[in-house]
Amino acid sequence: MDDIQKLHADIKRRIKHERGAGTAYDGKRAAKSVADYFASLYTDMGTLSAQIADYWLRTRIENSEHPESEPSERHIAWLLTAAEILDGTYADGTEDGVFSERDWRELCDMVNYEAEELPMDRLSALMSIFVAKKIL
């Protein structure tokens, strides 16, 4: 099991825990738990993972037409793609449109904001992705 598969399993476990909490399932609460967990994973990258988690909540969860079903598989896939980008395992074209152009631009802005806090190898890898995506 690779890191992304483990992350996916951990996300599913958090959702399952929320469903079995003895109260009515609250998709937004479950998504918040997932976002908090995601934010805690990349502490070596400043607040970048927290910014990404917050962006995910604002753009995917809070605007959902079906909050009781959140986080949906599509929204989980978005977060997993973000994790691949952060940990250097992202391969261009593998996300199949999970990220919109706006998402790529927002992510680039977040990286630029955190650039001084990022390890040089990670920053270089992220910038290479943005160049390939024609965001820079």
Model confidence pLDDT, tens digit, residues 54-102: 999 999 999 999 998 999 999 999 999 999 999 989 987 666 678 999 9
What is the rounded CA–CA span in Å between residue 59 and residue 107?
Answer: 13
Q: How is the chain split into domains, by residue range?
A: 3-132
Mean pLDDT throughout 118-125?
95
Q: What pLDDT was estimated at residue 122?
A: 95
Q: What is the mean pLDDT of residues 96-118?
A: 93
Q: What is the reported pLDDT for 75?
A: 96
Q: Report pLDDT for 94.
A: 64
Coil, helix or strand at residue 66: coil
pLDDT at 97: 79
Q: Where do runs of H (alpha helix) occur along 42-119?
A: 48-56, 73-87, 101-114
CA dihedral 110, 111, 116, 122 (to 10 degrees): 150
Given a cut of 90, whether residue 124 has pLDDT beyond it is: yes
Q: What local confidence, expressed as pLDDT, does residue 1 receive?
A: 72
Structure confidence at residue 46 (pLDDT): 92
At position 9, the amino acid (one-letter code) is: A
